Amino acid sequence: MAKDIVMKRFLLVITVGLGLLAPADAQKADVILTTDCGTDVDDQWMIVYLLLSPEFNVKGIVTTHAPNLAVPQAETSANCVRDVVKRLGIPAPPIFAGSSTRLKDRTPLRNDGVDFMVKTARQYSATHRLAIFTIGAATDVGSAFLADPGLENRVEILSMGFNSWPRGGDGWNIKNDPLAYSVILESSAPVTIGAADICKQYLKLDAKTANQMVGDRGSVGKWLAEIFGAFVVKYKDLVTREVAPQSWVIWDDVVLAHLLKLTEYTTYPRPELNLENCEFTQKKTGKTIRWITKVDEKRMWADFLAKLDRHNRAAGVF
C-alpha cells in the first residue's frame, strides 16, 4: 500500500512537471484565435487547453461561419465560445462574432473581429509577431489582410487545415473559404499548417480513452468527455468513415502543440491554392511554408491534463 502511494505521488510529480513546459520567466506568446466553435467538439477541447495555458496571452477570439451552425453562424459560434469560458469560470478574453459568409471577392468583409485583429496587430513587428490561430474558415483573417496589407509584416498564421502534403485538398476549414486562405498564402506572413493526416495519426481518441482521460477531472473534464461521447454517437457514420468507430480527432490541438514546441515540422516552398478544389499548385513563389510532420502527443496530453488538474485545484475541485 505504501509503495502504491509513493508511486502515485511520483506519477503526479511527473505529470505536473510536464505541465510546466515554459520557464517561469519566459515571455508569453500573444495570440488571437479564430474558430468555428460549435461545428465539432475539438474547438471546445482546444479552447479549454489554450485558456488554461499560462504560456499564452489570449488577446481575443474571433468566431467564423460553418454550414452546420445555426444562423447567424458566427454569432452562434461566439455563443459556443462564451459557454466554454463560462464553464471554466475564468475572465473572458474579448470575443467577437466575425463574418457569417465567405469572401465573394477581394473586398474585405469588415466587422468588429476584423477591425480588432487589424488594430491589435499594429502593436507588433516582423521581429515580434502576433500569432493568429485559424481553426475554422479563414474569412476574417483574409479580410484583415485585405484591409491592411501591412499585416503580413506583423503576424504569423498557424492553421489546422488541408488534407496532406503535397496535394493539399480539404474537406472543411479551407473549403469553407478558399479565397480567404489564398490571400494568406499570397502574403509574406509566416504560415504553419497542421494537416488532417498528421492530426489523425497523433491526435485521435476513442470515447473510452477520452472519458478515462478527463471524465473524472472536475466539471469541465466531465463535460469534455460528455460532448466527445455524444458526438461520436450522433455522427456514427461520419466518425466510422473518416476515423474509426467511436473515435474522433482533436484536430485543432495541432497548432497549439506547435507553439508549445511539441511538434516537428518541415519547410517547403510555398504553393499556390486552386480555389476550385483546395489543392496546391507548386510554383516558384520565393516564399516558404512550415508543415507539421509530427506531434509529441504523450507530452501534449500530459501537459493538458496537468493544466486541467491545476485549474481544478485552484477552483477547489480537488
Q: Three-state SS for 118? A: helix
The pair phi, psi for residue 290, each rounded to 5°, is -95, 130
User: In which band, very low, low, confident or very high, does the pLDDT at 175 lie, cut at 50, 70 and 90?
Assistant: very high
The pair phi, psi for residue 211, each rounded to 5°, is -70, -40
Supply the pLDDT for residue 27: 79
pLDDT, tens digit, for every residue of 238-286?
A: 999 999 999 999 999 999 999 999 999 999 999 999 999 999 999 888 9
Supply the pLDDT for residue 211: 98
How far is it, in rounded angstroms, from Cα 8 to Cα 12? 6
**Whether residue 195 has pLDDT greater than 80:** yes
Percent of the chain with pLDDT over 90: 89
The residue assigned the cell 458526438 is: 231
Supply the pLDDT for residue 318: 61
Query: What single DSSP character describes residue 60?
Result: E
Mean pLDDT of the chain: 93
Which residues are CB-contacts of 59 (< 8 A; sequence separation ≥ 6)?
Answer: 30, 31, 32, 93, 94, 120, 130
Which residues are CB-contacts of 119 (< 8 A; sequence separation ≥ 6)?
Answer: none
**Whether residue 1 has pLDDT greater than 60:** no
Assigned C-alpha cell, 181: 486562405
- The partner residues of 56 in beta bridges, in order of sequence, read 29
The residue assigned the cell 464553464 is: 87
How far is it, in rounded angstroms, from Cα 8 to Cα 6? 6
Which residues are CB-contacts of 215 (< 8 A; sequence separation ≥ 6)?
Answer: 221, 222, 225
How far is it, in rounded angstroms, from Cα 204 to Cα 196? 11
What domains are there in the chain, each with its CATH number? 27-203+250-295 (3.90.245.10)
Residue 124 to residues 58, 96, 104, 118, 194: CA-CA distances in angstroms? 15, 21, 29, 11, 24
Residues 279-302 have a mean pLDDT of 96
pLDDT, tens digit, for every residue of 7-53?
A: 344 344 444 444 445 444 457 999 999 999 999 999 999 999 999 99
Q: CB–CB of 80/95 below 8 Å?
A: no
Supply the pLDDT for residue 3: 40
Sort 7 into a burial class: Cβ within 10 Å, 0-12 / 13-18 / 19+: exposed
CB atoms within 10 A of CB 278: 23
Supply the pLDDT for residue 13: 44
